Amino acid sequence: MPATARLMRMWKSMLRCHQKQFQAIMESKARSLKANTGLQRDSGLRATLELETELINWCTRFNNWIDTQKSYVELLNEWLLRCLLIEHEETPDGIAPFSPGRMGAPPIFVVCNDWCQAMFRISEKEVENAMLNFASSLHQLWERQDVEQRQKIKADYLTKDFEKRLKTLRMERGRIMPEQDALSDKAMSKVPSESGVSPLDDLKVDLDSMRKKLEEERSRHKEAAKLVHDAASGSLQAGLVPIFEALGNFTSEVLKAHEQVRLENAGGS
């Protein structure tokens, strides 16, 4: 069986495979990536980064695979052409396109020339762009996850610090206001310190300032978490559908290109 025939069989099989993959993604209920913003956020960051890396590797290997096929048939065709004495044919429209068939070359020359031209008419750019676009969206998701994680750490730190200061305030209140006196908060706040300002007032001012800052950090974290969920929502299907659609289109083009290779009557023009 000729190499082109075996390749056609391979491409037909791949076309059926990509069509099934595309259909499976379209029918899948898993339309989004899981956005881990809680205790599992570290694993979520790693998973997103690993998926992005695998996509880039997939794109690189795919391009290398197609480039290898193109290089193989190009070198094979160039090697065969060295065996021919090529004389350019002048026509009223200019120099006629090279055709080993018109020169009476053996069928293998026609097959390789057709095969070479067919391979260089197809482009894998649509597939490459789909893969890289998904990788780019994953990188954006990873960046948002990283920002969310940092905001979570800030908010958690301020929460612990606030609780610590609040505990200090309560202890100070207990020290200044013995239980048996049962003084009100208002009266208690008037107990002066050496600086003339109530220690409780100092603590309360600090707590008010810290509470405001804590609320701001929690608000930032909430917004960061929302951005993560927005980026993750629908990203799985939105990223994979164009890839498998492009793979299906590309495989179909390659198959059609191979079908144009003249395996029979190769001696014709």
pLDDT in tens, 192-205: 555 555 666 666 77
- Helices (H), ranges, the chain: 3-27, 41-81, 107-121, 125-176, 185-188, 199-232, 235-259
Q: Cα–Cα distance between 198 and 196 in angstroms, integer?
A: 7
pLDDT value for 89: 62
Q: Cα–Cα distance between 262 and 110 in angstroms, integer?
A: 7
pLDDT in tens, 131-154: 999 998 888 888 888 888 888 888
Out of 1.20.1530, 1.25.40, 3.30.200, 1.20.1270, the CATH code matching 3-259 is 1.20.1270
Contacts 24+ apart (CB under 8 A), 88-93: none
Q: What is the pTM of this model?
A: 0.68
For the chain, the structural domain boundaries read 3-259
Asked whether residue 165 carries a pLDDT value surpassing 90, the answer given is: no
Asked whether residue 206 carries a pLDDT value surpassing 90, the answer given is: no
- How many Cβ atoms from other residues are within 10 Å of residue 98's Cβ? 14
pLDDT in tens, 235-253: 777 888 899 999 999 999 9
Among candidate residues 206, 125, 112, the one with its CA nearest the CA of residue 168: 206
Q: Cα–Cα distance between 216 and 199 in angstroms, integer?
A: 26
